[in-house]
Chains A and B, each alone.
Chain A
Amino acid sequence: MSDAAEIESRPVRTYRRPLGNDWWLRRWSYFLYMVRESTVIFMVAWLVWFIFQVAALKLGRYEPPTGEDYAFIAFSVVCLFFTLWHAVTFLNLSGLILRVPIGDRYLPAAAIKAVAFGGLLFVTIVGCAIMIYIGYVKL
């Protein structure tokens, strides 16, 4: 075996820098990403509470909120903000991600975005109407 071939056959010793658990603190953009991901914890907590309220309603143990539980109202407002943040950022991307072919071109991104936001508005209005109806008429 020639010297060159012998050197070639040697295993290469490399160094891999560990990423570390604090990687998300090294850049502002990484930190914002982690904040965005962490908001899910708040939203899940609110949804779990909501499911328990539905279960209580079914079992006849539901107690309507008095409007004086300010901590819970604040928590709900924060959750609403996070939910809207996710909805807006997600739907803002809909025009880039969804591709509706028209011949050899695609529907403009702005049109897809408009439909997505219109759909959100429609679903929100219908959902609110149903909940208000149930709240005032059925209960």
Chain B
Amino acid sequence: MPEFVDVTIQRYNPETDDKPHYQTYQVPYREDWVVLDAILHIKDNLDATLSYRWSCRMGICGSCGMNVDGYPKLTCSTHLREYRQGLTIEPLSNFPVIRDLVVDIEDFMAKLKSVKPWIIRELEQPLGAGEYRQSNNQIDNFRQFSQCINCMLCYAACPVYGMENEFLGPAAIALARRYNLDSRDEGSEERVKVLAASEGIWECSFVGECSAACPKGVDPAKAIQQTKFDTVNGFVMGAMLMPFGKRT
């Protein structure tokens, strides 16, 4: 006799619903299934109207982030066996819900772009001059922050972003940090205008949940605190101790 597990899913249809409601499905329990497998089973066998995002199924693309029993998780990396008594799946917190488990990511994408997450050079070398070389130590300085997969779990875990949607947010700041620490990059002064703005690093009150939620071991809270220190340090050194240093 097959075993089943109750999977309760938040449903929302913008064409018919004023607010979301919950629907429970009985899904066959398999020891080796992840939560995403249960959602795929519902879509394929029980309710074809269910909407959600997914792609790679191996914790790389960052598409399948959802709240599982209130905690933001990658559903492709979260085993069903951890929720043997049943589970509730909701769209990621702090984002507008488009339909069922699909959230609007426009705000996040705009914030990512605003920190210019690419290598900025004051003067590009010609191709013939060879590659920009880095030592292993120089790569180690930013390696951790380059592991971000833009899954937005950190935004869903952050109550500051929940209260103030203008906040630039953990992933965008961590990504800015990744490029600011890159020895090939010369764009930190361009990024500081966004990072040190009122919606930037100073909004963060260090709840620390962004780092706890990250499925890739990135520490956005560390990136934010380091950026705070560097920004103050840059201001003190540049504007107060050496006010004429850069006016030549």
Contacts and interface: CB of A to CB of B under 8 A. Distances in A.
B93 A17 contact: yes
A29 B212 contact: yes
Given A16-B96, A17-B93, A33-B207, A96 B163 contact: no
A14 B98 contact: yes
Interface string B155-169: 000010011000000
A13 B209 CA distance: 29
Contact of A26 (B17, B70, B97, B207): B70
Interface residues of A, number: 24
Contacts of B97: 14-17
Contact of B208 (A14, A26, A33, A106): A33
Interface in A105-134: 105-106
A14 B226 contact: no
Contacts of A68: none
A27 B93 CA distance: 14
A97 B229 contact: yes
A43 B235 CA distance: 29
Interface of B: 12, 14-15, 17, 19-20, 70-71, 93-98, 104, 135, 137-138, 141, 159, 162-163, 183, 205, 207-209, 212, 222, 225-226, 228-230
Report the 8 A-B pairs with minimum CB-CB distance, sorted nearest first.
A14-B96, A13-B14, A19-B162, A15-B97, A104-B137, A97-B225, A16-B96, A105-B137
